[in-house]
Amino acid sequence: MGNNKQKYERRFEDKFELQWKRSVLKELRKLPKDTVGKLVDLAESLIANPYPDGCRKLTGTEHTYKVRAGNYRLVYQVHNGRLIIEVVKVGHRKEVYR
């Protein structure tokens, strides 16, 4: 039947711009420094590929995705028309969806 992953893989010639909501920056200050580093690196990697392996679309949303970083989650929106990735929430997996 073929590899479905190749079918959905996209190459992005133009880089996306990364934006952080103010509330996310505030939340990052509360997290352990090593976790913050991982989350920031993960967010910056989205600039080259906004749909990395392991990202999942959030149910009931049109442009919102989540990606794992250990026990933490990074929730972001992709605005393809404007080439913008906006990080909308970060937090522990037990609390991030509340």
Break the chain into its structural domains and give their ranges. 13-92
Confidence category of residue 97, pLDDT binned at 50, 70, 90: confident
User: Mean pLDDT, to the nearest integer, of 32-46?
Assistant: 94
pLDDT band, very low/low/confident/very high, at 12 (cuts 50, 70, 90): low
Give the residue with greater pLDDT, 20 vs 80: 20
pTM confidence score: 0.82
Residue 74 confidence (pLDDT): 96
Neighbouring CB atoms inside 10 A of 84's CB total 14
Q: At residue 36, does pLDDT exceed 70?
A: yes
C-alpha–C-alpha distance, residues 87 and 44, integer Å: 10
Instruction: State the pLDDT at residue 11.
Output: 52
Pair of tokens at residue 30? 């509360």
The span from the CA of 32 to the CA of 45, in Å, is: 20
User: Distance between CA 63 and CA 31 in Å, rounded?
Assistant: 26
Q: SS3 for 42?
A: helix
Distance (Å, rounded) from C-alpha 57 to C-alpha 51? 9
At the topology level, CATH places domain 13-92 in YaeB-like fold (3.30.2310)
Mean local confidence (pLDDT), 24-40: 94
Quick one: pLDDT at residue 62? 92
